[in-house]
Structure 1
Amino acid sequence: MPTSFLEIVELPDGRIVLRRADDEEALLTLDFSSDAKLFLQGQHVEVAKAMINVGVQMAGRMSEGELEREEEGSRVLH
């Protein structure tokens, strides 16, 4: 991915997206259910920011070879 500024935006429909500042296309979309938003007491945007931050850090470490890539195929994530 070319180097550019990224922004986190909450769309009018409630989805939260990560996108390049100069592009409308989403690189990543997070969509919290109503139940999740209620559980998070309105702090879902802060949770989304933290999730995206960790993901971007991990992607950077993977591209630098610090983390080994997983094998392709289905896997349980938890």
Structure 2
Amino acid sequence: MSDMFLEIIELDDGQIALKRADSDDEPIMRISFSESVREQLEEECIDVAKVMLTAGIHMISDLNIKAAETEGSDFDADLDDVDSQPRVIH
């Protein structure tokens, strides 16, 4: 399997995004900060976004490992049943 090289970029609209370095496809993940948070964090918002994106990458990796370990289970079927409404996470 080939390695996937990722890069963190700032989009024209101010969002911080993670994308494949070798592709012009849509970003894999995006982070958007409100204007008040941007003012509070100043230049630190890039560092906060990096930590958030890194956590997302680790979570996806863990889910992929779990799916591989439970191959043949209903893991993929569970993903298809996700409601289109946003989830509330407490």
Q: What's the secondary structure of 1:53's corresponding residue?
A: helix
RMSD value, Cα: 2.3
Instruction: For 2:42 and 2:51, locate their aligned partners in 1 and report how far apart those are by CA, in whole Å.
Output: 16
Q: Which runs of 5+ in 1 are unaligned?
A: none
The structure whose residues are more often helix, as a share, is: 2
Q: How does 1:33-52 map to 2 (within 5 A)?
A: 33-52=34-53
TM-aligned CA deviation for residue 12 of structure 1: 3.4
State the distance in 1 between where 2:22 and 2:42 align. 32
Pairs aligned (count)? 75
Q: Max radius of gyration: which structure?
A: 2
Hey, what's the Cα distance between the residues in 2 that align with 1:76 and 1:11?
27
Q: Percent identity?
A: 35
TM-score by length of 1: 0.77
**Segments of 4+ in structure 1 off by > 3 A?**
none
Q: What residue is the counterpart of 1:32 in the other structure?
A: 33
